[in-house]
Structure 1
Amino acid sequence: MDTSDNAEPAIGDTRIGSDGALQHWDGRQWLPYKRQVEAEDHTFRHEEDPEDS
């Protein structure tokens, strides 16, 4: 069963979508790549919070 053409992409793989925007694969679907970057930015801000409490 070697159908490399139909193989799922690896998690984190990127492609250019039909609209020309960069997308990444999260294991189930293609998502806008920007969303992943925003999530990482939020994580960095969250790590700085403990000093405030």
Structure 2
Amino acid sequence: MEKLEDTKKYNHLEINGVIFERIQIFIRENYIELVDSWGKTSAKIYKRDIKTVNI
């Protein structure tokens, strides 16, 4: 699994087969928060649920 970087913006990110475009991630204690280009939270994914990451 590739390592994600906190506050980094990704043009293309795939987590567990779900593709996110133009997304910024914030790594929290128990989950990862994905925020779109308008600043809205697109998803919160618990770390224990993440199986695959493709950058």
Please state which band the TM-score falls in when normalised by the shorter chain: 0.3 to 0.5
Q: Which has the higher strand share?
A: 2
Give the TM-score normalised by structure 2: 0.34
Give the TM-score normalised by structure 1: 0.34
Structure with the greater relative contact order (CA < 8 A, sep ≥ 6): 1 or 2? 2
In our comparison, the structure showing a higher alpha carbon Rg is 1
Q: Which has the higher helix share?
A: 1
